[in-house]
Amino acid sequence: MVAPTISLVVAVARNGVIGRDNGLIWHLSSDLKRFKALTMGKPMLMGRKTFEAIGRPLPGRRSLVLTRDRSFRAEGAEVVHDWDESLTVARAEELMVVGGGEIYALSLPHADRIHLTEVDTAPEGDAHFPPFDRSAFRETLREAHPAGGKDEHAFTFIDLERVG
């Protein structure tokens, strides 16, 4: 089996916060549209808390839920219990990692791409994106967007690809 490309999709505040109380802290309609476009038709790996926060499998994508809880069941999703199992079950060219903090920390050393949304705010939160060496990646896209309309904060889409 050829290992899939590992792509992280994440929105991160200036202070590294990605969530609070198992939920999003901001509303960025443009980011949600990008998330849908990036993940459609692909398997998405997420932790149990992220799956429970979403509340259901998202249409048009396979949901893989990584949990240590061997009794956890999620209707419409595939439950896996470790990183290697998630790669085996994904059976795809690209695996989209969509959170939360523990799953990002687990997958970051394996990441081939990061689809990052930098959100121009610094809220309190209890979930963080792990620090990483940006020099290990090259930027392939940078697109700044102002706040307004259905986007409550300014933000920047940044795509990174691992070098070497």
pLDDT at res. 141: 98
pLDDT at 64 over 80: yes
Find the mean pLDDT for residues 38-54. Answer: 96
Handedness of CA 53, 54, 56, 62 (dihedral sign): negative
CATH of residue 142's domain is 3.40.430.10
Range of the domain at 50: 5-162
pLDDT at 98 over 90: yes
pLDDT at res. 1: 60
pLDDT at 2 over 80: no
pLDDT at 142 over 80: yes
- In this predicted model, what pLDDT tens digit does every residue of 73-95 receive, in sequence order? 999 999 999 999 999 999 999 99
Residue 58 · residue 77 · CB < 8 Å: no
pLDDT at res. 9: 98
pLDDT band at 35 (very low <50, low <70, confident <90, very high): very high
pLDDT band at 24 (very low <50, low <70, confident <90, very high): confident
pLDDT at res. 128: 97
The DSSP-derived string for 78-136 is EEE-SHHHHHHHH-SSEEEE---HHHHHHHGGG-SEEEEEEES-----SEEPPP--GGG
Q: Closest by alpha carbon to 118, among 6, 34, 41?
A: 34
Answer yes or no: pTM beyond 0.85. Answer: yes
pLDDT at 145 over 80: yes
- In order of 18, 68, 103, the CA distances from 48 in angstroms are 16, 9, 10
What is the domain count for the chain? Answer: 1
